[in-house]
Chains A and B, each alone.
Chain A
Amino acid sequence: MNLTCRKVTEILVDFVDGSLPEEERDTLERHLCGCVPCAIYLRTYHDTIILTKSLPNVPLPPEFLTRLKTMFAKECGQQG
């Protein structure tokens, strides 16, 4: 079975999360060995996941944090 580059792109999500059936995975790996653009595409797809995963949380704006803490304390008091 031959895969087109488009088909390779379509099944990358299953390849990356390890859910691609063995036969299809073998076919895809053979395609990647002979297709430089798809090999680069896979690497940059993977890099996209790594970069996103590295995204830090931004701190809450100080004014909002103060407001939130005041509201929280007040609500907790009412609950208690």
Chain B
Amino acid sequence: MVSPTDEPLTPEVVFRDYVPRVYNLARRMLNNDADAEDATQDVLLQVVRKLDTFRGDAAFTTWLHRVTVNAALAVRRKRNRREEHRVHDPLENFTEEGQHSGFVRPWPKLPDNMVLDSEQHQLIEEAIGKLPETYRDVFVLADVQQLPNAEIAESLGLSLSAVKSRLHRARLMMRDALSRHYEERLS
């Protein structure tokens, strides 16, 4: 994530530092390019109105994330197209006694400075897209955008404990989805 700067918000700064972040956040929340474009356009119109009142600082970044989340949720409501994928609950992979019911296999060691190749990139994007929306929103904001839980709670109107609970469940689902790929790589 690009660090906030203290530069004045010129159109160049907006397009260099903020538009890619807005588009990618919307795209991952909505799992649809056209919807992401609509949300990004809505956000840009709001940015124009605020251009003189903000600098490119942390307050602007926080505001921008909130506006983007709201725009994405509004597009989702307008589309009224729910595409919930059935995702197996990872907490069902245990016996009645609470032990793992199957083998837990290791993944290859990740390099220290992780750079994803295009196959890994696509795999992770697809796994995010298959998360149920309730979990996807929190996961994208927390683990992709790296926002603090308190900011996510405020943006989504959730309690802190709900954010952590959804984030955890999303990570377990992601771990399961990625396991299929990374376990194969080792075998």
Mostly, the A contact residues are helix
B143 within 8 A of A: yes
Among B57-65, B67-75, B96-104, the stretch in contact with A: B96-104
- Known interface pairs A7-B98, A58-B24; A41-B104 also in contact (CB < 8 Å): yes
Chain B residues touching A, majority SS: helix
Choice from A13, A43, A47, A75 contacting B167 with Cβ under 8 Å: A13
Q: How far is the CA of A34 from the CA of B175 in the complex (A)?
A: 22
**How large, as a class, is the contact surface on chain A?**
35 or more
A76 engages B178 (CB within 8 Å): no
Given contacts A4-B98, A45-B171, A76-B11, contact A55 B164 (CB under 8 A): no
User: Quick one: which of B21, B23, B40 has the most chain A CB within 10 A?
Assistant: B23
Considering the complex, which residues of chain B in the window 24-48 have a beta carbon less than 8 Å from any beta carbon of chain A? Answer: 24, 27, 33, 37, 40-41, 44-45, 48
* Complex contact A55–B51 (CB within 8 A): no
Within 8 A of B (CB), among A45-80: 45, 47-61, 64-65, 68-69, 71-73, 75-76, 79
CB-based nearest A residue for B10: A76
- CB neighbours of A68 from chain B (8 A): 15, 19, 40-41, 44
- Smallest Cβ distance from B145 to chain A, in angstroms? 10
Establish whether residues A55 and B172, one from each chain, have CB atoms under 8 Å apart when the complex forms: no
CB neighbours of A57 from chain B (8 A): 20-21, 23-24
Contact with A51, one of B27, B110, B139 (Cβ below 8 angstroms)? B110
- Chain B contact residues, CB within 8 Å of chain A: 11, 14-15, 19-21, 23-24, 27, 33, 37, 40-41, 44-45, 48-49, 51, 90-91, 94, 97-100, 103-107, 110, 114-116, 120-121, 124-125, 128, 139, 143-144, 146, 164, 167-168, 171-172, 174-175, 178-179, 182
